[in-house]
Structure 1
């Protein structure tokens, strides 16, 4: 009797397959540099053999300190071919921050862009610098794929979170989780053979990697945007004929500010957004600026992967929602007592899917705190599910403001503030207050000077009095991480 089976899924699989199926197709573009699938397959094998020649063995961790560039996909694939585990590192970190990740992950080697030498700590591990010496290193390495066996449930990477409370946590993401994400993304957003996309978000971040690398895993072409610039992105879409592009709301906001009248992009047919909810007023601008382009809005996290997606047919009708559960995903919305809540009632969102993390590296307590015995995981967000099953993110649990014993969800206030013509961006937080416990404070980026009295009157016509901010603080920009999420913890610490 035959038993169902087959090769385990690994993130190197797609490059191996298309290196043979479509060897002459361009896999990666970076400025005037290009890699065909044949070249990507060969160079990633050389990376694998070069790492094994350093004495690394199955399961060892290899850190990668690098921005978006041609070498990123080949290094990630090479690490996988060697049976090693990738540790992506934010190139904006300081040397002590990088050192923490290297030590906590147990990394035995580091590949780093030679332009980032200042961030490389003096630690006793093997170091390879991406530049001329890297080319020499892979040039002398064997070109034969080592085919080190890897179980698909083993981690392909340890992705470190931003560390919103204490030190960053290392999220263990399996080959199976990420490969299924690639295939589902190709189905949902068109990242397969013959399709072109752009690596806009940084690849060291979970979503940035997933949606850029999905293209080469599924036979498409990805162009590298080394640093975000609205005009450069639009020119690249036009020049490279990109069809599907992943953005975060901040990108849309910057494009709107720099080029409010976007020229017609003939090839673009799909935009998909993540990282934070797309404000309704900004979403309307996206519809107007990119007519005929299908706009998706998805929700997820490093730990859970993609959880929901709002598809184009419902994009306007359900603006403010992040849609229904994604492929192969179950969700559960529960109240403070742990019981399911009904439609229209706020509750904490849990999800269960093949995309979930394996857990936090060497942190079983943190893993247990966010998971249930039956396999659901929470990212700590409060949501409302309507009668049709559409999910809307209300807020992070830790961001809910309790003022005078009443809950205020910052997103409610932010959505209204953003409809004021003088407000470009905003973030609402709770700050300690002797009388109310917490007071509502709004941080604002404006197109023109913002008068607190005018804003106050504007909000009081549209919001209950207890939701109206007690203070308005104008700032030149809101602090964000590389994924575009606003760092409210930094606003709370602003004197």
Structure 2
């Protein structure tokens, strides 16, 4: 955080990179963004020792001396004047559907979003204490860690995710708000009610989930333990910032929903003809707000594809609105499966699979099928490595979804591949098929 804020004050845009990427992936991003300086920790320095970077002139290894460096630093005079449309950071997209792209995030976007967050979540003030557990290499992890500092509050930022450490920290540090992704909540709830109840903080006002769909079964457990006034499920993107939020009062009333527009945000769902969809009609979601990006780094064609003629943004997600205007993300446009001429959205099937008592995690993709064109394949992680056949899964799904939507293949794996933000890497799953 000190490096990001220091670079920002000096007018330097920081590209944030997931340290768990391969050396080749890190090399590609550094070369693409034309980085001049690379900050790494000790383990990453060894990991990247033999990597050739085209533009980097210095690699700085961060170790236990960081605090000493900060204390010895001197104020710099004549700092540049930052303009609102200048680039603050260049996070790279998660690459769940293709090659990662550098996203130009302006200061204006993130500062205005911070004020929107304070109004929406109610846990950012000088008196609040926030726990940040999501990787800061992604847009959401960054903004939720930055917000409490921006408003003069307290931020506990964790380097690693340890479920037991998280729940004990909530109580010990009198945390008022924290942000996580579904993978985090699954790990926390896996500790069991006894430990969770023993460490339940009376100070907690807000829990925020983002990055991937939070299964309804997980929502119900969170509400059961922490109450019905704290949970928010937020939908957004690196390019568009926060787009919508499902507030606590609606968590159990609006199933599989991501709520209403975030402050100062307009949302429309558009069909293939370019017209706005009727209620409950699936289309592509577009948003307009002060939080939009400045485009993709060195990819003008991709930027053009992401914006309509009026400047509204899409990242390729399919959605629908109900009669009350609440938003439901159906799936990624690129993940939609066409089987027997029918459009099928894997997320719908995944939500059903999460309800199975023996399923810990699940992801569904389309695979080639001679008869149907495409068929559904489910990748499952089961409790105690238990066996689950196609027949057993389809028997469970019977009456919950149409027969054509039932998986024709099932593969049991140790873990669903996800990026640092918790999103399923379906490109990786397709390679496993």
Instruction: Name the TM tier (shorter chain).
Output: over 0.9
| Structure 1 equivalent of residue 106 of structure 2 | 174
| Structure 2 equivalent of residue 157 of structure 1 | 89
Structure 1 residues 192 and 469: CA distance shift in structure 2, 3 A: same
Q: CA RMSD in A?
A: 1.6
| Structure 2 equivalent of residue 205 of structure 1 | 138
Report if the CA contact (8 A) 1:98-1:119 is conserved: no
Find the residue that maps to 2:91 and give its secondary structure: strand
Report if the CA contact (8 A) 2:390-2:407 is conserved: no
| Structure 1 equivalent of residue 283 of structure 2 | 347
> Where in structure 1 are there 5+ consecutive unaligned residues?
1-72
Q: Distance in 1 between matches of 2:67 and 2:125?
A: 29
Deviation at residue 451 of structure 1 after TM alignment: 3.5
Alignment of 1:306-455 (within 5 A): 306-447=242-383, 448-455=386-393
Find the residue that maps to 2:137 and give its secondary structure: coil
Deviation at residue 152 of structure 1 after TM alignment: 1.1
Correspondence for 2:426 among 474, 479, 488: 488
- Normalising to structure 1: TM-score of the pair? 0.82
Q: Distance in 2 between matches of 1:246 and 1:452?
A: 36
Correspondence for 1:461 among 383, 389, 399: 399
Deviation at residue 228 of structure 1 after TM alignment: 0.5
| Structure 2 equivalent of residue 114 of structure 1 | 42
| Structure 2 equivalent of residue 191 of structure 1 | 124
1:82 is the counterpart of 2:15: no
Deviation at residue 486 of structure 1 after TM alignment: 1.1
Q: Distance in 1 between matches of 2:52 and 2:356?
A: 50
Listed one character per residue, the Cα deviations across residues 334-357 of structure 1 (whole Å, up to 9, x for unaligned) are 101111110010010000111111
Report if the CA contact (8 A) 1:196-1:242 is conserved: yes
Find the residue that maps to 1:450 and give its secondary structure: coil
Q: Distance in 1 between matches of 2:68 and 2:169?
A: 30
Report if the CA contact (8 A) 2:98-2:427 is conserved: no
| Structure 2 equivalent of residue 245 of structure 1 | 178
Report if the CA contact (8 A) 1:400-1:409 is conserved: yes
Listed one character per residue, the Cα deviations across residues 69-94 of structure 1 (whole Å, up to 9, x for unaligned) are xxxx2111110111111111111122
Listed one character per residue, the Cα deviations across residues 297-356 of structure 1 (whole Å, up to 9, x for unaligned) are 110011111000011122211121101110111111110111111001001000011111
Find the residue that maps to 1:360 and give its secondary structure: coil
Listed one character per residue, the Cα deviations across residues 95-114 of structure 1 (whole Å, up to 9, x for unaligned) are 22222112111111122212
Q: Distance in 2 between matches of 1:241 and 1:134?
A: 27
Report if the CA contact (8 A) 2:13-2:89 is conserved: yes
Structure 1 residues 318 and 135: CA distance shift in structure 2, 3 A: closer
Find the residue that maps to 2:350 and give its secondary structure: helix
Report if the CA contact (8 A) 1:156-1:173 is conserved: yes
Listed one character per residue, the Cα deviations across residues 411-461 of structure 1 (whole Å, up to 9, x for unaligned) are 221222222222222111101112211111111112243243222222122
Q: Distance in 2 between matches of 1:228 and 1:413?
A: 28
Correspondence for 1:283 among 219, 232, 243: 219
> Where in structure 2 are there 5+ consecutive unaligned residues?
none
Structure 1 residues 119 and 357: CA distance shift in structure 2, 3 A: farther
Find the residue that maps to 1:299 and give its secondary structure: strand
Deviation at residue 492 of structure 1 after TM alignment: 1.4
Report if the CA contact (8 A) 2:261-2:267 is conserved: yes
Find the residue that maps to 2:120 and give its secondary structure: helix
Structure 1 residues 75 and 361: CA distance shift in structure 2, 3 A: same
Structure 1 residues 223 and 425: CA distance shift in structure 2, 3 A: same
- Normalising to structure 2: TM-score of the pair? 0.94
Find the residue that maps to 2:316 and give its secondary structure: strand
1:91 is the counterpart of 2:27: no
| Structure 2 equivalent of residue 220 of structure 1 | 153
Aligned length: 423
Deviation at residue 137 of structure 1 after TM alignment: 4.9
Listed one character per residue, the Cα deviations across residues 44-68 of structure 1 (whole Å, up to 9, x for unaligned) are xxxxxxxxxxxxxxxxxxxxxxxxx
Structure 1 residues 485 and 118: CA distance shift in structure 2, 3 A: same
